[in-house]
């Protein structure tokens, strides 16, 4: 897989801030990409099981989407419009409504809050507080919602929270589904805290959650848990916000990650792959009765990124019928059976399966094994990242459109890496840990 030496990282070391992170794990200079493959400047090839952290569900340089963007540009289509009306936005809105909302019997007003996930979350928290006149938002252990102060306050990761340099307020953290094992129903815990006037937890403006926690370690909320949370929210007139920035756009198998549970959030945050082509775009979907914004009460210079609208609309073609959903399911099954097979190879208790759909992974009892595995993978031309509070999960999240043969090849590399790890006998079973 490796054709040549890696290119030098010198320019980055010299000119870019110390905050850079992924380029420290993937120590090469990438230059080209298509579908699920990437090449570095020395023509080394890589299979991409990371997919821009979920921004590239339709693959790199998806040719159908690219054609639309390039044509639009060459025809002098508006690129940047703040929130003025444009044909590109009009067309996207109409298509999004017809392709996504109507068939799912969902009615939302669409807000463009600035083109990143954290912008969407900030706007969701603002409107929930405005609607209810309340201050607190309930978030969950190991949630990730963004890095600006409002969304960071709802993010569990202590390392990232500490970066704020100020106290983060307005949120209370509750245990996510399964946080205390199978015997503790964490919705009951939340209910008790909300219904006891002496609990110290005020009735919140909103509950914000991811149906699968990606950064948090591929924790999957059950259908029942999601329904119970929704019921609890309805009972207390609390807004339910689903942050579908990473899990939306098909990552878990359906367009919205919450479809399977049959819940109807009051607010949905979308970003990452909604831009279709890796272009910055974000949407905040708001139940019409809660769309009580005053004009310009939240804004952002790039909320009208029209290349994003064009790409986003083009990408919606994948959702015209259910073939894409079936396709994802097939690949997800393939990943799952491979992972199960790999788990069998390893000492009992040393690793377990995490995740769902096209975001699955291996959670190691010895956290550092996850990094070792990803490091081995990169050496062999496979790009994978870790997640979880202890970076203990090695995560697979290829583009949804990955070709079966490439998926197969990637899984093969992964298997080789697991074999090597296992051979080193570095893996420790649960009993021994």
* Interacting residues with a copy of itself between 56 and 95 (CB under 8 A): 56, 60-61, 66, 69-70, 73-87, 89-90, 93-94
101, 115, 433, 415: which is closest to 273 by C-alpha?
A: 115
Q: Smallest distance, Å, CB 132 to a copy of itself?
A: 9
Q: Which is nearer to a copy of itself, 284 or 338 (CB)?
A: 284
Alpha carbons 201 and 357: distance in angstroms, whole number: 35
Q: Which is nearer to a copy of itself, 108 or 324 (CB)?
A: 108
Contacts of 32 (CB under 8 A, 6+ apart): 38, 39
287 binding a copy of itself? (CB under 8 A):
no
What's 173's DSSP letter? E
Q: Which is nearer to a copy of itself, 201 or 422 (CB)?
A: 201
Binders of a copy of itself in range 239-268 (CB under 8 A): 245
2 binding a copy of itself? (CB under 8 A):
no
390 binding a copy of itself? (CB under 8 A):
yes
Candidates 116, 252, 254, 257; binder of a copy of itself (CB under 8 A) is 116
CA distances to 241, 248, 312 from 283, in Å: 13, 11, 11
Binders of a copy of itself in range 344-383 (CB under 8 A): none
396 binding a copy of itself? (CB under 8 A):
no
Tokens 């890095």 locate to: 147
Tokens for 341, please give them: 């097979």
Q: Is 236 in contact with 203 (CB distance < 8 Å)?
A: yes
Q: Smallest distance, Å, CB 334 to a copy of itself?
A: 25
Stretch that binds a copy of itself, among 301-309, 335-343, 373-381, 413-421 (CB under 8 A): 301-309
Tokens for 200, please give them: 């110290």
Stretch that binds a copy of itself, among 182-190, 323-331, 373-381, 404-412 (CB under 8 A): 182-190
Residues 180-218 as b/e (b if ≥16 CB within 10 A, e otherwise) read eeeeebbbeebbeebeeeeeebeebbbbbbbbbbbbbbb
Alpha carbons 123 and 114: distance in angstroms, whole number: 9
Alpha carbons 115 and 90: distance in angstroms, whole number: 17
Binders of a copy of itself in range 135-164 (CB under 8 A): 135, 139-143, 146-151, 153, 155-164
Candidates 187, 205, 238, 362; binder of a copy of itself (CB under 8 A) is 205
Q: Smallest distance, Å, CB 29 to a copy of itself?
A: 4
Cα Rg for the chain, rounded, in angstroms?
22
Q: Is 252 in contact with 112 (CB distance < 8 Å)?
A: no
**3-class state of residue 188 by DSSP:** helix
**3-class state of residue 332 by DSSP:** helix
Helix (H) or strand (E) holding 174: strand 171-174
Q: Which is nearer to a copy of itself, 137 or 373 (CB)?
A: 137
Q: Which is nearer to a copy of itself, 168 or 343 (CB)?
A: 168
171 binding a copy of itself? (CB under 8 A):
yes
Q: Smallest distance, Å, CB 408 to a copy of itself?
A: 22
Q: Smallest distance, Å, CB 103 to a copy of itself?
A: 15
106 binding a copy of itself? (CB under 8 A):
no
Candidates 247, 286, 339, 359; binder of a copy of itself (CB under 8 A) is 286
42 binding a copy of itself? (CB under 8 A):
no
List, as own/partner pairs, every contact residues 165-172 make where C-beta atoms lie below 8 angstroms and the sequence separation is at least 24, other chains included. 170/125, 170/135, 170/136, 170/137, 171/136, 171/137, 171/138, 171/139, 172/136, 172/137, 172/138, 172/139, 172/201, 172/204
Beta-strand relationship, 37-40 and 45-48: antiparallel
Candidates 1, 4, 64, 292; binder of a copy of itself (CB under 8 A) is 292
432 binding a copy of itself? (CB under 8 A):
no
Q: Which is nearer to a copy of itself, 288 or 405 (CB)?
A: 288
Q: Smallest distance, Å, CB 20 to a copy of itself?
A: 5
Q: Which is nearer to a copy of itself, 74 or 423 (CB)?
A: 74
Q: Which is nearer to a copy of itself, 65 or 342 (CB)?
A: 65
Return the axis-axis angle of helices 368-379 and 404-423, rounded to nearest 10°.
120
Stretch that binds a copy of itself, among 6-14, 232-240, 312-320, 330-338 (CB under 8 A): 6-14
């Amino acid at each position: 897989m490796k054709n040549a030496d890696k290119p030098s990282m010198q320019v980055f070391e010299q000119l870019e801030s110390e905050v850079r992170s992924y380029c420290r794990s993937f120590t090469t200079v990438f230059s080209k990409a298509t579908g699920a493959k990437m090449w570095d400047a020395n023509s080394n090839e890589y299979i991409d099981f990371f997919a821009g952290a979920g921004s590239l569900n339709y693959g790199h340089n998806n040719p159908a989407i690219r054609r639309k963007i390039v044509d639009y540009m060459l025809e002098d289509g508006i690129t940047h419009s703040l929130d003025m009306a444009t044909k590109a936005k009009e067309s996207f809105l109409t298509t999004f409504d017809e392709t996504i909302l109507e068939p799912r019997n969902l009615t939302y007003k669409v807000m463009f809050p600035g083109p990143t996930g954290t912008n969407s979350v900030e706007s969701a928290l603002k409107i929930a507080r405005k609607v209810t006149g309340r201050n607190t938002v309930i978030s969950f252990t190991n949630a990730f919602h963004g890095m600006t102060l409002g969304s960071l306050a709802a993010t569990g990761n202590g390392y990232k929270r500490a970066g704020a340099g100020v106290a983060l307020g307005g949120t209370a953290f509750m245990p996510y589904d399964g946080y205390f094992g199978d015997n503790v129903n964490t919705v009951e815990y939340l209910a008790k805290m909300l219904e006891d006037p002496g609990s110290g937890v005020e009735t919140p403006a909103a509950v914000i959650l991811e149906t699968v926690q990606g950064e948090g370690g591929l924790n999957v909320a059950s259908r029942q848990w999601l329904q119970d949370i929704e019921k609890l929210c309805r009972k207390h007139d609390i807004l339910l916000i689903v942050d579908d920035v990473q899990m939306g756009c098909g990552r878990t198998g359906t367009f919205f990650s919450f479809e399977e549970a049959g819940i109807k959030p009051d607010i949905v945050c979308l970003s990452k792959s909604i831009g279709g082509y890796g272009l910055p775009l974000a949407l905040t979907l708001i139940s019409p009765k809660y769309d009580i914004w005053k004009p310009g009460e939240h804004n952002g210079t790039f909320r009208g990124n029209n290349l994003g609208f064009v790409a986003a609309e083009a990408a919606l073609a994948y959702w015209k019928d259910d073939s894409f959903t079936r396709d994802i399911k097939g690949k997800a099954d393939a990943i799952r059976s491979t992972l199960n097979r790999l788990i069998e190879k390893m000492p009992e208790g040393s690793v377990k399966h995490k995740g769902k759909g096209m975001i699955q992974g291996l959670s190691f009892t010895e956290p550092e094994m996850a990094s070792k595995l990803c490091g081995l993978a990169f050496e062999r031309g496979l790009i994978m990242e870790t997640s979880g509070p202890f970076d203990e999960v090695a995560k697979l999240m290829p583009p949804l459109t990955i070709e079966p043969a490439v998926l197969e090849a990637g899984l093969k590399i992964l298997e080789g890496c697991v074999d090597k790890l296992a051979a080193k006998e570095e893996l420790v079973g649960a009993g021994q840990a």
